[in-house]
Amino acid sequence: MCNVMDGKEASMILKKRIKKKINQDGITPCLAVILVGDNEASKVYIRNKKKACEDAGIKFIFTNFPDTISEDLVIEEIKKLNNDKDVNGILVQLPLPKGFDEGRIINTIDPVKDVDGLTYPNVGNLVLENECLVPCTPLGVMELLKMYNVSLKGKNVCIVGRSNLVGKPLIQLLLQRDATVSICHSKSINIKDYTKMADILIVAVGHPNLITKDMVKDKVVVIDVGINKEGNALIGDVCFDEISKKASLITPVPGGVGPMTVACLLKNVVKAYEIQNR
């Protein structure tokens, strides 16, 4: 049986480090979160972020606008937060309700306060290997690989999924660690040809049980970023029961990458504070 990569335990270790740093440095970072509408899943994510921030010693400000608000008023609120020296991180909870221009709203955020790493300057700086804020889920994947001492240098890494939030940033982060990267997506032909070669397989498509045991080689390291609801259960993009018998390391769903995403948000808030207070 392979080793399961415990994201809950790894995230607790990372959160303790962040809390220790905040206490030792005597700093008071602050995160402001904006929600438009009343998406129930978004509210759950925000509650988790709020608790994690408060536990670590990060001030948390929450603004919930109705979905009837105008886009211009949301942008006005972001500009106020940009100008507030006491606010270090700004996060607009996605997805936004229908009719809102996500790109326009996100790119109103000051890049040094963009703790989701989604503004164009942060995306560009990631590609150019300049200092920047990186999206939290890819950062969580990298932290998990690091905590489990997974070597990336020269390894074949296959990413399934090319989203702006996970797949694309991961390409850059993995290249920075000298991995050989291939990326598959919905238009790829014979995905199995790529996944079967992978020393490390990262799947983030939102397609339940897409990856089966015949698609991976023995001793592969599998990171499952997918979260899919089936009845009352949450399952990943990978057939865990099958592949866990072949893999050397694998993340569960839930309890894998998810907790690391929240921990890396805290990491980004502290980093944003440091950038702003040099």
CA–CA separation, 135 and 265 (whole Å): 8
Place of tokens 């660690």: 177
CA–CA separation, 116 and 106 (whole Å): 9
27: which 2 tokens? 């700093």
CA–CA separation, 243 and 218 (whole Å): 9
Residue 172 a catalytic site member? no
Residue 116 a catalytic site member? yes
Which residue in the list 6, 15, 114, 116 is annotated as catalytic? 116
Q: Which amino acid, one-letter code, is at 31?
A: L
Q: Which amino acid, one-letter code, is at 43?
A: K
First to last CA, the chain: 48
Residue 49 a catalytic site member? yes
Which residue in the list 93, 113, 114, 271 is annotated as catalytic? 93
221: which 2 tokens? 């390291």
Which residue in the list 6, 15, 49, 237 is annotated as catalytic? 49
By annotation, the residues acting in catalysis are 49, 93, 116
